[in-house]
Amino acid sequence: GLFFSQRKTKMASSSSSSSSSSSASDLNIFRDGIFNGKVVVVSGGGTGICKAITQKFMELGADAVIFSRKLDVLQASATELERATGRKCLPVQADVRNFESVTNVMKQAVSTFGRIDVLVN
């Protein structure tokens, strides 16, 4: 109890002495354009955290390939990601449980962008 109370007090006082005007952009640890010319392939990149990961890669300069089973969701997400970032996003319908399906994603990525630099699964 006492240790926790003291620690909590120290944390509160040290955080109040630092700048309280920091924003999410202040927390960016990546150099702008760090992924320029790179291609990222993201499974499930059309929704949720995988979509957010895809968007961050694209904001940092990468083009993306997103894949999952729901093509309509992927297409809508790809359009949204392209508009938000100015980068290219290729939606591909595939099922990660099917080897040939995933192989097709990789072939389409290389066919479209000429390379794959990062895979997020």
pTM passes above 0.85: no
What is the DSSP code (8-state) at residue 118?
Answer: E
How far apart CA 102 and CA 96 sit, in angstroms, is: 6
SS3 of residue 36 by DSSP = coil
Across the chain, what does the average pLDDT equal?
85
Residue pair 109/90 in contact (Cβ under 8 Å)? The answer is yes
Its sign, for the CA torsion 43, 48, 50, 55, is: positive
Q: What is the pLDDT of residues 25-35, one digit of tens each?
A: 556 677 888 89
